[in-house]
Amino acid sequence: MHRFISYILGAILCVGYLQVDAQQKTAAALDQFEKPYDPEEDAQQALDSLLLVAKETNKNIIVQAGGNWCIWCLRFNNYIHADHDLRKLVNDKLLYYHLNYSKENKNEAVFQRYAPTGNQLGYPFFIVLNGQGEVLAVRESGSLEAGEGYDKAKVTTFFTEFIKK
C-alpha cells in the first residue's frame, strides 16, 4: 500500500510539473507577439469613430474579436502585419479593429450588438461591418489556419470578399 501511495504522489507531481511547464511555454509564446487588444478601451466608442471613417472612405471594417491571452489571435495579427501583401491589402482597402474579450473587459454590449453568438466560434473570429454599422458577416478563423499559422490564399480571399468595388 505504501508503494502504491508513492506511485500516486509521484504521478501527481509529474502532472503538476507538466502543467506548470505548459503554462510557462504558453506565456513565453504569447510574449513574442505584439498585444493589439486594449482591455481599457471603450470599444463601442472606438467602433463609432471607425464607422465614421468607413462612411467617408467607403471601406468596410474587419473586426478581429479576441484578446491578448489568445495565441491564435496574436498569431493572426502578426501574420497579416508581417506579410507585405496582406498588410498592404488591409491598409489600402479595409479598416481593421481588434475587439477585446478578456476577463478585464468582456465588452458584452458590443458583442451582443454585433455578434451575439460569435463566442461559439472560438477566438479569434471576425465581424465584418459596413459604414452604416450593418453586420455583413461573422466568420470563424479555423478555416484560415495552416499548421501553426495561416494560409495566405485563404486569408486573402476572406479579405477581398469584403473590399468595396
Write the pLDDT tens digit of every residue in 94-109.
Answer: 999 999 999 999 999 9
130-158 residue pLDDT tens: 999 999 999 999 999 999 999 999 999 99
**pTM, entire model:** 0.84
- Domain 43-161: CATH superfamily is Glutaredoxin (3.40.30.10)
pLDDT at residue 17 greater than cutoff 60? no
* Cell numbers at 164, concatenated: 468595396
62-103 residue pLDDT tens: 999 999 999 999 999 999 999 999 999 999 999 999 999 999
Q: Is there a contact between 100 and 35 (Cβ–Cβ < 8 Å)?
A: no
One-letter amino acid of 163? I
Average pLDDT over residues 4-22: 52
- Cα dihedral 132, 134, 137, 140, rounded to 10, equals 100
**CA-to-CA dists, residue 140 to 14, 44, 104, 130, angstroms:** 36, 21, 23, 18
Domain edges within the chain: 1-32, 43-161
Q: Is there a contact between 94 and 60 (Cβ–Cβ < 8 Å)?
A: yes
